[in-house]
Structure 1
Amino acid sequence: MKIGLDMMGGDYAPKATVLGAIAAHKTLAEGQKLVLIGDSQVIRDLLEENNYSADGFEFVHTTEVIGMGEHPTKAVVQKPDSSISVGFQMLKDGKLDAFTSAGNTGAMLVGAMFSVKTIPGVQRPAMTTIVPKLKGGLGILLDVGANADCKPEVLVQFGVLGSLLAQSVYQIDNPRVALMNIGEEEEKGNLLCQATYPLMKESTQFNFVGNVEGRDLFSDMADVYVCDGFTGNVILKMAESFYVITIKKGLKDEFFDRFNYEQYGGSPILGVNAPVVVGHGISSPEAIKNMVLLCRDMVETNLVDQFKKAFQP
């Protein structure tokens, strides 16, 4: 197994990515290799500064970096030797089994769709985030920003993608899939939710349990919460603020500690033909490590193959 890590992506790269790569390398098993993509000399110097051997890694040298504020499509096209572009080319060519970056999110989405492409039958890939539950365990929320506007059929597909992720990577048996709405009744919601509900109810590809409201997100009412990317991103950003607020207020609570993005690493892009994980721009070494480990879990569970099987005509 070879996992590609963009060493130049993120607000604190390459120092944070090097430290994260070291932490991940200590956890990976024999036969699981990290491929470090970026300025090789800078990376080697940082490894040496931290008294860590470069022998356990593979290096792919690149000369360009896609900045966090650059236009995604233009950057991917105009910077073919950027760490993100090279990583996706290697993924497309089968030289990597997975690829992850804390760099430009838009460029990661564009790169995934241009290189490894969407799985046949999947209308739109989705990004996910982890939702901690009050009584322990976790849930999955999708989409959280890849698709601001969605059609009902796309939300149904998100239910399939989220259910398979929950079952395979997080070992949740027969995961319960819910539609995020403004009321529990079947007829509630905007036009999108009203049209989506009967389609999800009729689906035999996942265990649909109906509508849930925002107040139910951290309960045990469901395991997978489906919504459009606009709604999901608003929820995600608000949830991320909970952890920051507790730190600023000097509060210590195990539940709110689980809102720390570092624990989960990044957001997988579900529905493309290879495992791809996008990290937070402010990713710390701990987050980088967990991005790599999520890639490993996606490869080991053959998640992409399960998606392909689910969307066969």
Structure 2
Amino acid sequence: MKIGLDVLGGDYAPNATITGAIEAQKILKGDQKIVLIGDQKDTTERLKQAGVDLDKFDYVHAPEVISMHDHPTKAITQKPNSSIAVGFDLLKKGEIDSFASAGNTGAMLVGSVFSVKTIPGIIRPAIATNVPKLKSGFGILLDVGANSECKPEMLNQFAILGSIYAEYIYGINKPKIGLLNIGEEQEKGNNLTISTYPLLKENTKINFIGNVEGRELFTDTADVFVCDGFTGNIVLKLAESFYITTLKKGFKDEFFDRFNYERYGGTPILGVNAPVIIGHGISTPEAIKNMVLHSKDMIESKFIDKIRSVFN
């Protein structure tokens, strides 16, 4: 198993990425190796300083950086030696089994669609994230930013992707699918949700339970919450603020601790032909470690094959 990691991605790279990779490697098995993609000389020097055996990792030299301010589409083509561009090239060639980065989100989306491409039959990939449940565990929310404008057919596919993800990555049997809306009644909502409802209701590949409201997001009402990327991103950013607010207020609570992005490391792009994980721009070593381990889980579960079998 080869897990690709962008060493140069993120606000605290390369210190955070290399430290996180070191911690992840301690947990991985002998046949599971992290491929560090970045400035090879600088990377190996930092590993030596940390007292790490260099043979524990593989290396691919990619000295350029796609910054958070670079235009995603232009940067991929104009910076072919960047860690993100090289990472996707390796993924496309099958030289790594997954690719993770805390770098430019737009570039990661563009790289996914134009390099490894979407799985045949899928209109657009979606980004999924975890939402803590009050009792225990997590629900899944998607899309949270890949598609700000959606068609009903896209939300119908997001429901399938979310259901497969919840089942095979988190072991949830027959995940309950809810359509995030402003009311529980079928006729509630805007044109998008009203048109999506019957598609989900008739979809035999999912366990659709109907509309769910925002107040039910952290309950056991549903396991997967489906929405367009504009709505999902607003919900995600609001949820992330809960953890920061509790820290500032000096309030300690196990539930709010589970809003800490470090715990799950990154969010997957669902619907492309290989496991791709996007990390938070402010990823710490702990977040990087968990992003690598999440990549491992997606590879081991043969998650991509499960999606292909449903959409073929």
Give me the TM-score of the superposition, normalised by structure 1: 0.99
Give runs of aligned pairs for residues 41-60 of structure 1, distance below 5 A: 41-60=41-60
Over the aligned positions, Cα root-mean-square deviation in angstroms equals: 0.5
Q: Gapped runs of 5+ residues in structure 1?
A: none
Q: Distance in 2 between matches of 1:159 and 1:111?
A: 23
The DSSP-based 3-state class of the residue aligned with 1:81 is coil
The DSSP-based 3-state class of the residue aligned with 1:182 is coil
Q: Deviations over 1:129-175 (max 9, x none)?
A: 10000011110000000000000000000000000000001001110
Residue 90 of structure 2 corresponds to residue 90 of structure 1: yes
The DSSP-based 3-state class of the residue aligned with 1:149 is coil
Give runs of aligned pairs for residues 141-180 of structure 1, distance below 5 A: 141-180=141-180
Report deviation, 1:237: 0.2
Q: Distance in 2 between matches of 1:270 and 1:54?
A: 33
Report deviation, 1:63: 2.1
Q: Gapped runs of 5+ residues in structure 2?
A: none
Q: Give the aligned partner of residue 4 of structure 1.
A: 4
Report deviation, 1:50: 1.6
Q: Distance in 2 between matches of 1:228 and 1:209?
A: 18
Q: Distance in 2 between matches of 1:209 and 1:302?
A: 27
- Report the more deviating stretch, 39-48 or 280-289: 39-48
Q: Percent identity?
A: 64
Q: Distance in 2 between matches of 1:62 and 1:275?
A: 20
- Report the more deviating stretch, 47-56 or 116-125: 47-56
Q: Give the aligned partner of residue 80 of structure 2.
A: 80
Give runs of aligned pairs for residues 248-287 of structure 1, distance below 5 A: 248-287=248-287
Q: How many pairs does the alignment contain?
A: 312
Q: Give the aligned partner of residue 122 of structure 2.
A: 122
Report deviation, 1:62: 1.2
Residue 7 of structure 2 corresponds to residue 16 of structure 1: no
The DSSP-based 3-state class of the residue aligned with 2:130 is strand
Q: Give the aligned partner of residue 301 of structure 1.
A: 301
Q: Distance in 1 between matches of 2:63 and 2:102?
A: 18
Q: Which portions of structure 1, spanning 4 or more consecutive aligned residues, are displaced by more than 4 angstroms? A: none
Residue 106 of structure 2 corresponds to residue 106 of structure 1: yes
Q: Distance in 2 between matches of 1:97 and 1:299?
A: 7
User: Which amino acid in 1 is paired with 2:66?
Assistant: I
The DSSP-based 3-state class of the residue aligned with 1:120 is coil
Q: Distance in 2 between matches of 1:114 and 1:281?
A: 22
Q: Distance in 2 between matches of 1:177 and 1:79?
A: 40
Give runs of aligned pairs for residues 24-39 of structure 1, distance below 5 A: 24-39=24-39
The DSSP-based 3-state class of the residue aligned with 2:43 is helix
User: Which amino acid in 2 is paired with 1:220?
Assistant: D
Q: Deviations over 1:239-295 (max 9, x none)?
A: 000000000000000000000000011010000000000000000001001111111
The DSSP-based 3-state class of the residue aligned with 2:283 is coil
Q: Distance in 2 between matches of 1:11 and 1:38?
A: 15
- Report the more deviating stretch, 145-154 or 37-46: 37-46
User: Which amino acid in 2 is paired with 1:111?
Assistant: G
The DSSP-based 3-state class of the residue aligned with 1:169 is helix
User: Which amino acid in 1 is paired with 2:49?
Assistant: E
Q: Give the aligned partner of residue 184 of structure 1.
A: 184
User: Which amino acid in 2 is paired with 1:186?
Assistant: Q
The DSSP-based 3-state class of the residue aligned with 2:298 is helix
